[in-house]
Amino acid sequence: MTKINYMTKQGFEDLKKEIEQLKTKERPSISKQIAEARDKGDLSENAEYDAAKEAQGLLEAKIAKLETILASSRIMDTSKVDSSKVNILSTVKCMNLKIKKEVSFTIVSEKEANIKQNKISSSSPIGKSLLGKKVGNKVEVRVPAGIINFEILEISL
């Protein structure tokens, strides 16, 4: 059973563009490298040919993976998201209870996660722990560095 990936419209469009770029630019480039390496003669001892074939295999695997993600993706309609609890696309303001510091996270799909933009995956330890919670809830999150305790201060879209 394939897992459904909920994404923003922008994330969905970015994924489509990435696949298109891989197919129209990267794939022909690697094919050209293979042809050039093949023209150099004996393939049994041709490191360039082997490297180009390996790169082609990795590219095709990446394209297949991204196409699977795209096929199982659904664009979230923010007008239908319940903002009384944490969902995908929610921006959650929390208080780290240990260090008394406010932090904000936007819960997104794995593909859209970007810690520099405070976008965390719904399948990350913090994302999983926050999903379904409401303002005022206290959450204990197990992370590789130990346990973090948060209190949810605000939920918005």
89 with 139, same domain?
yes
Q: Alpha-carbon distance 20 to 58, whole Å?
A: 16
Among candidates 107, 109, 34, 30, which has minimal Cα distance to 63? Answer: 30
pTM across the whole model: 0.68
Model confidence over 62-114: pLDDT tens digits?
Answer: 999 999 988 888 887 777 777 789 988 889 999 999 899 999 999 988 888 88
Average pLDDT, the chain: 87
pLDDT at 82: 73
Percent of the chain surpassing pLDDT 90: 48
Mean pLDDT, to the nearest integer, of 3-21?
A: 86
Among candidates 41, 36, 63, which has minimal Cα distance to 52? Answer: 36
> Is 44's pLDDT higher than 70?
no
Q: Which amino acid is at 86?
A: V
114 with 45, same domain?
no
87 with 70, same domain?
no
Query: How many domains would you assign to the chain?
Result: 2
The last residue of one of the domains, among 75, 98, 123, is 75
How is residue 155 written in tokens?
């939920």
